[in-house]
Structures are given as structure tokens and as C-alpha cells.
Structure 1
Amino acid sequence: MGDALLRRVCGFFAFLALCPIPPICNGGNILVFPVDGSHWLNMKVLLEELVARGHNLTVIRPSSSSTILEKSPLYTSITLDMCIKRKDIVDAYLQETITAQREGASFLKFLKLTKDFLFLVAMGHSLWIDGMSQIFEDKNMVKSLIDSQYDLVLTDPATGPGVLLAKYLKLPLVLNVRWITSGEGHFVLAPSPLSYIPVPGSGLTDKMTFLQRVRNLLFYGIILFQQKILVGPSYNAICEKYFEGGCDIISLLQDADIWLFRSDFVFDFPRPTMPNAVYIGGFQCKEARPLLADLDKFVQSAGGHGVIIMSLGSSVNALPDDIADEIASVFAKMPQKVIWRHKGQRPSTVGNNTRIVDWMPQRDLLGHPRVKVFVAHGGTNGLQEAIYNGVPVLGIPLFFDQYDNLLRLQERGAGKIIQLAEVNGRTFEQGVKEVLHGDSYRENMQRLSHLHRDKPLALMDLAIFWVEYVMRNKGASHLRTEAYKMPWYSYYNLDVLLLMLTAVTLLLLSTFAVISFLCCSRKTDKIERRQKTKTN
């Protein structure tokens, strides 16, 4: 008996000795500069895990934020006296977009919407630049930030303040990113050939015809305009004022140590990337929790017909009444149960099978086996949750990147798009039934779900590893390309091509000169011989 116990103890310690020991990172001190809205939902999930692993967090927030709370058990907050009426601005732009879509597309309307969007972007960046001046001019705040001895800055670079602050405090920088100040992050991080990489907003895939490539190039021009003319100069001004030698926002972004991309190549089209890009798309997704009793009873009552859930995101207070009524009347005729997140006036045609709610546990519903279709606007978070749970999507894109997001699912046969301008009772019913009864949609989405889950490491663990990696190693400059420090003509080897072209030109001219000289010499000799012959 004693020998058996001894063998077990020895075996246990041998097992421990063979187990790999993860690298240890003592609790770090992290300065967080998030972006409000749906971006914060992603960041908060990451912050919760960092706190669970013993790290201390300080979050900088605007005073007007209703989602980034001033008092939280997760973090200590620094509140900037800023009034950013993001929701009011977004609501106004959304209503304008909906009106334009329903009235029909035209080039003039496209130009107006583009102008309004760029104005919206410029105004948001201008407010944040004012907020950064508030920080830099407050000597007590600056001293407090320096004395806190942060290990790194974690920021969402859709706005630039966190990037500027990392530069100012000379701290390593980790980006929780999909969007930067002038569009999609990859376009400043890695080579992005426009021949097969669609520009956000273009509505294109990675397979383009000649005319589509022309369109793609024109949309890239909008990004350059935003970067060089609209946003860049404002950041350049604050760089010149507070940083010795000046800087520009794009170079500061390119100088980041790690890019945690909220995307992956199950969802996105393949493209070139860099060693410091880490793909964590869907890292916020978790297994579904049990539904509350009342909601679970409603879902279970669907039986074999299943459940349809619909949500157009937190930015949409209400669809136009006539569209909402037609959607409700389609749902009322169906045998499925419907859960619809709808904040506007209750449609007059709602059926007994439809439950209208202000909020729903979207993640838990998508993970429920009775949910058959997700009617969505195409926000990244919702689509990644749909992929995680294998639920096909009927998409009604409204604005920003939503059409592009849904297009990626449609190209993979896991979703279908209906433009808002085309939504009526007939088209909506056809779309829902096609996704609901078309086996290929569910099969394709479940395949994407399998690919998404088939990872060597949980995505949250991957994200935390790289944050802690930067803290342990005081940065990750060895993973960062220095190409962005090269002049543009050197990056594209134009100086080398010019030298080679010059050398070839000189060689050709020299050859031509020698040949011409020889030919002229021979011609002169012939003329002299003829003259001698005539004289004789």
C-alpha cells in the first residue's frame, strides 16, 4: 500500500516537472484610452481579463460618456471635461443615410453622404485633439501620469489621443484595432495591393473586374484625402506643438509594438500582414449562458420551427414606420417565434409570435439551438458572434462598414444581403425564407464556425499573452518593420529604378555614339579614297 502511494506521488511530481510553465508577468500598470460605443464593448472584455490576471488599469474617458463609467471595479478613471454628443451625430447621419437609400441612389447623393461622413469624422477628431491639449496643458495631470509609471498604453486607434499619449510618455503601445484615424488599419501597416484588396466602403470583394479596380482606386483616394487633408494636418499641428521634432499620426501608428486586430481570415479576405499583427477576431465570444426563465419559455415554445432574432444595433433607435410595419407583418405570418430588438414605436402589425424588446441577450440567444436565423445590420461584434455560434445571417446594412462586413459572409455563402431601399414585405419574406430553409446557408456558416474555433490557443489567451509580452520585454520593436521610415521614393525603389534607367540610357547613348563615330570614320575614309582615285 505504501509503495503504491509513493509511486503515485512520484508520478504526480514527474507530471508537474514535464508540464510547460507559462511565462510569468507580474501585475502590470496599464493606461487605457478607449473609444466609446460598440468599440468599448470589445475593449471592456479585454480589460476584464487583464484585471482577472492581476493587472492594474487606468482608463481615460470623456465626461459625456454614458457607457465608459467613471466609477468601476475594473479600473481607476481619469475624466476629461469633454462633451461629445456622438449618439446625436450618428443618429442624424443614419437618418440621412436611410432617406438617401430609400429615395434611390445617385452620384450627387453619394457625394453628399461622403461629404457628411467626412465632416462627421473630422469633427470627432477635432474634439479629441482639443481633449489632448487639455491633458498636455495640465501640468499636474502630466506629472501624475509620469509618476504612475505605466508599463504600456493600450488604445483603440480609431481616434488618435492614445497613440499621441504613448509617444508623449515614451511608453510601449498596443493597439486594439480594426479602424484607425483614416480607415482600415492594414492600409498603413502592411502592403495592400489595390488589385485584390477592397477598400472599405467600396462594396467590393477580393475578386475584381477592371472597372471594379478603377472603383477601388477611387475609394482609396477618399482614404488618402481623409488622411492627408482632413485629419492629418490637425494631428500634425498638435505634434509640432508638443513633440520635439514634430511627428505625424500615421508614423506614430506604424511605430506601435503590437496590433491586436479584431478580425481574422475566417471573416476577412486574405491579405499581406506583418509579424506584429495578432488576429483576435471574435475573442469576445463566449459559450451561451442559460436564458432567463420567461425568455427561455418563449424560445422553447417555438418547437421544431425554431426562432428568428432581429437586431439592428444600438445606434438604430427606429426604422421608418412603414418598413417596420411590413417586417412585422411578415414575421406575423411565419410559424417561427421572433425576438426583435426594436426601440421605436411598436409596429401596428406585430403578431402573437413576435416579442418586441428594448434589449436582448444576443450572445446567449445566438448560442441557443432553437435559433435559426439572425436578422442583423452587419456590425462586427454581432457577425462574429453569429460565426462563433454557426447562425446564418440575413443582413440589412445601414451605414459605415456594415455592407462590407455582410458582403464577406455573403461571398462565403453564410448570409444574404437586402439593401434598405429594397426592403418591403415581399423582399423581406423571400430573404428570411431563403436563409431559413436554404440548407447551404446553415452548412456554410457552421463550417465558418468550425474554422473559427479550430485554433491552437484561445483568442483571449492570445491577446493577453501579447499584452504581457510587451510589458515583459519593454516593447516589441523587433517585430516592427522600419519600412515606414523610408522616403516614399525609396520604399518603391524609384531611386534605384532611376539609377538603373540612367545607367541603361548612358550605356545606350555611349553605344550609339561609338557606332556613330565608327560609321562616320568609315564614311570619311571612303570619301577620301574616292577623291584620291579621281585625282589619280
Structure 2
Amino acid sequence: MDFTGLLISVVLLTSLCECGNILVVPVDFGYNSRMRNVIKIGRIMLNAGHQVTFLLSDQIEHDALYKIGETSNMNKTFNVIHFKKPPVDVSKDMNSLNQDFINSLIVSAVDAYDTIVPVYSDFISFPLKDRSIWKKFARSKFDLIISDERMFVSRVISASFNIPLILYENWGPMIFDTNLVQRFNLAYVPAFLHPSSDIMSFSERVYNVWEYFKLQNVNRKVYSISIAICKELGYGDPCDNIENADKTASLVFMNRNDALHYPIPLMPHVISVEGFFLEDPKPLDQHYVNIIEKAGKHGIIVVSFGSLFRRLWPELRTTFAKAFAALPQTVIWSYEGPIPEGLGNNTIVSKWIPQESLLNHPATKLFVTQCGASSSFQALHYALPVIGVPFFFDQPFYCQKLSHRVKSGQTVSLEGITSEKLQRAMKEVIENKTYKANAERAAAIYHDQPIPPKDKLVYWAEYVIRHKGAPHLRSQAANELNFFQYYLLDIIALVCCVCIIIGTVLVIIAKKVICFIFSYQKDKYD
């Protein structure tokens, strides 16, 4: 072999040695933005030269949106380990394809979380029952697991095979697990998706503390159910890592950016990945080019309520349709369902739209959104004024950030919504240039980053692979302190006891002095 060939071989062998073998575990609850973002993490790691394997149920391939978004890419691009999951009636099961079930979650965030507790039985039981996939895990010798933090099976795999674990949090700092990302001060840190600023009134702080303890109670229930199922299926001690992942996970990847979120204290193992899932927009096809040209000087409005609210109940879809019809702009609405009553000639509905490409177009005047995590970062990235119509979970939280933190739009609550109210809000945000100026200012802050979000994600994943974990970034003390130690109640009790003792001593001395003075005065005059 000549010198050139030898050199090429050495380079190739070196690059192969640096490649990691990574298992990626998205939440398997029907295809939605949360799953799509974890799949994008896998794609980013693949493009960085790593070998990537996904763990998915064999039923996800029947999901209509998954077929559109991923099927053509997944099996051709990645290794995929499928665990067996029995077919379900999607119209009755607790999943993202059951619109009645999704609508039932339009309550407070913690109450909605409590409603879906039974889902966690499926999340943990189906992959644990399929013993064949565990043999594949043993053979694969993974260097790293990157998992949605709600897929507890990844915690069991990590503990069973001693694989470093990175947990991904789609909702930013308001993670389900209050121990995984500690709420160091409930006076200005929301407990869980509380739609308020970091300056809370007394009543808001009372509510925040109440939500914190409710969330802890629901978490105990979820962990108890999941651990019981895991141990019943014979997985032993690794099952404890379901609840103890705050003490073992190397990193937490968190969707968070200073332009959008209020400042909070975070431990070094919590890494903000800054909306890494944003992609370079593709050129619009001729169909949409023609629509935009026809819209003329008025431009277009893009409307999307995410993957879960593509179908709306009759009253709400009519409210939206009539509000859109009253505007001079052309409205492009991502919608799947019966044609709404009152739909205007200016409104185009489609099951699928090239959302990022439309948001990137200069003709787009407004983005009407439910304020999911992904759409909120898109609005921030493309400097777009927004009308937020939140439905549930993280959506009120993110709508508040866009309308009050960024000040790039207005929030229209579902409670009491009317076509007239929505129309007025849209007209105000389009015509008042302050909203656009605020959006551009926030976008400038967002884009001014020392490391591109995708490069940052790759660096930290490779950091964990290189060091075979990152326990040095995680505070063991913060996780080991009990309630009294964490909130310094033992110190406060000590101070109170010392004050009481000193006070008691001073009172006794004062009494003795007073008695002595009175006794002296009495003896003197007698």
C-alpha cells in the first residue's frame, strides 16, 4: 500500500473511532411536533457522522402525519428498532389521533397531566414486554441514549446497560419533573407552564406554589405506576432509575432562549438548545407562489394550530373562518376537517402547508398560532407578529412569552372568543408597526449566538460520549437535600430557637432586674 493510501486509511479509521453509536427515543404518542423534534436530533447527530438508531412502536407507521413527514426517510436513513404494540381504535384510545380526548385536555396544565397518567402504562409496558428488542440493545453496545424525558423506558435501558443518558425537554424550563430541572425559587420561577411573568402578584405566587405541590403529587403517581409495571415484568433495580434519573442523567437538552424566556437559575447539566429544530426553508412551489402574487400588497396570513388541533369543533372553526373572511389579506390555513361555515374566498385550507417556507416569505404579515414550542420559536426566528390562540399545556405559557415578554403580538383566549374579537386583534397587530419592530428586535437577540444551536447540540452530545457521562455537571447535593434542608427550614428553625432562648433569657433577666429595683425601692422607703 502506498503512503497516500495508508494516510487515507488512517484518516478513515480515526473518523470511525470518533463516531458514536446513539440510541434515540422519541415520545410515541402519535406523530406531533414533539416527536418530530426528537427525530431531528437524530438527523443532526447522523449528519455529524454518528450511527443513529431509533426506538419506535410498530404502530407509528400507520399514523397519517407520520407517513407524510417521516416514513420515506426513517427506515432508509436510520436503524430502527420497533417494539410490538397492539393495534388500537384511534378514535377511542388516549392518543393524539383521538380529537375528543385531546379536546378534553383543555384544562389547567397539571390537571391535564393528571388526566393522561394512564398513558404512561402504555409508554413503559409495551417496550418492556417485547423481550426481542432487549437482545438488540445488548448487542448494539450504544455509547449514548438521547430520549424524550417522558419515555421512561430509556431510563431503564440506561441503567440496565450502563449507557450515558441525555433527556430532551420540548417545553423549555417548565419540565414535568421538578427534580430534573429544579425550581430554585417559586417566587419568580413558574412551577409548571404557569402563564405569568417572573414578577408575580401574591395570588399568582399562591397559585404557583399550589401547582408545584400538585405537580409533585401527579409525578409520584406516574412514577409509582411505571416502576410497579417495570418490576412486575422482571427488570429489577434498573426500574428505580425511572424516578432517580435526576441523579443519573448526564444532561438535559432544553428548548430555551433568553429572547423568549425569563431568566432563571439553571445547573450546568441543563443545556439550552435554542430551537435547534428550525430548518432552512425550501423554495415555495409554483402553487403557493401564485397565491402570494395574487394576494398583492395586502400579503398573506399563515394559520396553523399544530398537529393536535388540525380539526376543530363546529363553533370554533366557524369563528375562525368568519374572522379570516373579514380581512383583506389572503389566509393560508393548515386545517383538516369539514369545511367551516362562513369560509371566505380569501381563505385557503389545506391538510399540509410548507409552514416554514411561508413564514420566511416577506409577504407574510401575521402568524396565527396555538403557540406550541416549535411554532413559538418559528415566530421568534422569522421575526413575525403573532396572534396566539392557546388551547392547553405549554401553549398559554408560550403565548404569554410572545405577547408580554417579546411583545410581538396579542393572545386571544378561547374563553369568550368571537369572530369580531379575533378580527380586531389581527387587524391591530398587522397595522400597528410596533409589534413587527418588537419581533425584529427579539429575532436579532435570538440570532446573536456564539454557537449555532445545532452545533451546540452536537458538541454536548459528543462531550458526553467522550467522557462516558457527565456526572461532574450535576449537583448531587441539590438532589439529596430533603424538604427542610432544601428550603433552609432547619436553619430558620435554629434561628427561631436561638431567638426564643435569647428572648426568654432577656425576659427572665428583665424580670429579675425589675423585681430587684422594686424590692430595693421598697426597702429604701421602709
Q: TM-score, normalised by structure 2?
A: 0.83
Trace 1:172-183 onto structure 2 (pairs within 5 A): 172-178=164-170, 183=175
Query: 67, 71, 76: which one pairs with 1:73?
Result: 76
- Contact between 1:257 and 1:477, CA under 8 Å: does it hold in 2? yes
Deviation of residue 225 (structure 1)?
1.8
- Contact between 1:188 and 1:250, CA under 8 Å: does it hold in 2? no
Deviation of residue 201 (structure 1)?
4.6
Tell which deviates more after alignment, 303-312 or 486-495.
486-495
Tell which deviates more after alignment, 444-453 or 477-486.
477-486
- Contact between 1:179 and 1:185, CA under 8 Å: does it hold in 2? no
Query: 15, 18, 23: which one pairs with 1:26?
Result: 18
Deviation of residue 499 (structure 1)?
5.3
Tell which deviates more after alignment, 328-337 or 254-263.
328-337
Please give the alpha-carbon distance, in whole angstroms, between the structure 2 residues aligned to 1:473 and 1:73: 31
Task: Give the letter aligned to residue 168 of structure 2.
Answer: N
Structure 1 unaligned spans of 5+: 1-22, 99-109, 531-536
Tell which deviates more after alignment, 367-376 or 183-192.
183-192
Task: Give the letter aligned to residue 91 of structure 1.
Answer: Q
1:158 and 2:150 are equivalent in the alignment = yes
- Contact between 2:302 and 2:331, CA under 8 Å: does it hold in 1? yes
Query: 459, 482, 485: which one pairs with 1:465?
Result: 459
Please give the alpha-carbon distance, in whole angstroms, between the structure 2 residues aligned to 1:87 and 1:436: 36
Task: Give the letter aligned to residue 212 of structure 1.
Answer: E
Trace 1:23-172 onto structure 2 (pairs within 5 A): 26-36=18-28, 37-65=32-60, 66=63, 67=66, 69=71, 72-83=75-86, 85-87=93-95, 91-96=99-104, 117-135=112-130, 138=131, 141-172=133-164
Deviation of residue 53 (structure 1)?
1.8
Please give the alpha-carbon distance, in whole angstroms, between the structure 2 residues aligned to 1:312 and 1:525: 86
CA gap 1:524/1:334 in 2 versus in 1, 3 angstroms? closer
CA gap 1:59/1:514 in 2 versus in 1, 3 angstroms? same
CA gap 1:233/1:348 in 2 versus in 1, 3 angstroms? closer
- Contact between 1:289 and 1:364, CA under 8 Å: does it hold in 2? yes
* 1:250-300 deviations in Å (ceiling 9; x for gaps): 431342111110122211121111111111131111332210011111112
The 3-state SS of whatever aligns with 2:18 is coil
* 1:112-145 deviations in Å (ceiling 9; x for gaps): x975x3454211111122125315xx2x543431
Q: 2:485 — aligned with what?
A: 490
Please give the alpha-carbon distance, in whole angstroms, between the structure 2 residues aligned to 1:510 and 1:249: 52
Please give the alpha-carbon distance, in whole angstroms, between the structure 2 residues aligned to 1:57 and 1:222: 38
Please give the alpha-carbon distance, in whole angstroms, between the structure 2 residues aligned to 1:148 and 1:246: 21
Please give the alpha-carbon distance, in whole angstroms, between the structure 2 residues aligned to 1:321 and 1:493: 53
Query: 267, 283, 288: which one pairs with 1:290?
Result: 283
Task: Give the letter aligned to residue 232 of structure 1.
Answer: Y
Please give the alpha-carbon distance, in whole angstroms, between the structure 1 residues aligned to 2:444 and 2:463: 29
* 1:190-236 deviations in Å (ceiling 9; x for gaps): 343121122335432212111121122222232122112x2121234
Trace 1:51-450 onto structure 2 (pairs within 5 A): 51-65=46-60, 66=63, 67=66, 69=71, 72-83=75-86, 85-87=93-95, 91-96=99-104, 117-135=112-130, 138=131, 141-178=133-170, 183-184=175-176, 188-228=180-220, 230-238=221-229, 242-244=235-237, 247=240, 249-411=242-404, 412-450=406-444
CA gap 1:64/1:355 in 2 versus in 1, 3 angstroms? same
Deviation of residue 502 (structure 1)?
5.4
Structure 2 unaligned spans of 5+: 1-14
- Contact between 2:96 and 2:308, CA under 8 Å: does it hold in 1? no
Deviation of residue 475 (structure 1)?
0.9
CA gap 1:508/1:319 in 2 versus in 1, 3 angstroms? closer
Q: 1:104 — aligned with what?
A: none
- Contact between 2:121 and 2:229, CA under 8 Å: does it hold in 1? no
- Contact between 1:172 and 1:257, CA under 8 Å: does it hold in 2? yes
* 1:154-201 deviations in Å (ceiling 9; x for gaps): 101023221222122211111121359x94456642343121122335
- Contact between 2:123 and 2:153, CA under 8 Å: does it hold in 1? yes
Q: 1:14 — aligned with what?
A: none
Please give the alpha-carbon distance, in whole angstroms, between the structure 2 residues aligned to 1:87 and 1:237: 22
CA gap 1:456/1:518 in 2 versus in 1, 3 angstroms? same
- Contact between 1:158 and 1:179, CA under 8 Å: does it hold in 2? no
- Contact between 1:183 and 1:223, CA under 8 Å: does it hold in 2? no
Deviation of residue 487 (structure 1)?
3.3
- Contact between 2:99 and 2:311, CA under 8 Å: does it hold in 1? no
Q: TM-score, normalised by structure 1?
A: 0.82
Please give the alpha-carbon distance, in whole angstroms, between the structure 2 residues aligned to 1:338 and 1:396: 16
Tell which deviates more after alignment, 466-475 or 183-192.
183-192
The 3-state SS of whatever aligns with 2:82 is strand
Tell which deviates more after alignment, 241-250 or 280-289.
241-250
Please give the alpha-carbon distance, in whole angstroms, between the structure 2 residues aligned to 1:524 and 1:417: 75
Greater Cα radius of gyration, structure 1 or 2:
1
Task: Give the letter aligned to residue 54 of structure 2.
Answer: V
- Contact between 1:167 and 1:252, CA under 8 Å: does it hold in 2? no
The 3-state SS of whatever aligns with 1:339 is strand
Please give the alpha-carbon distance, in whole angstroms, between the structure 1 residues aligned to 2:236 and 2:517: 70
Aligned-residue sequence identity (percent) comes to: 26
Tell which deviates more after alignment, 451-460 or 315-324.
315-324
* 1:418-441 deviations in Å (ceiling 9; x for gaps): 112332221121011011111111
CA gap 1:430/1:75 in 2 versus in 1, 3 angstroms? same
Aligned residues: 491
CA RMSD of aligned residues (A): 3.4
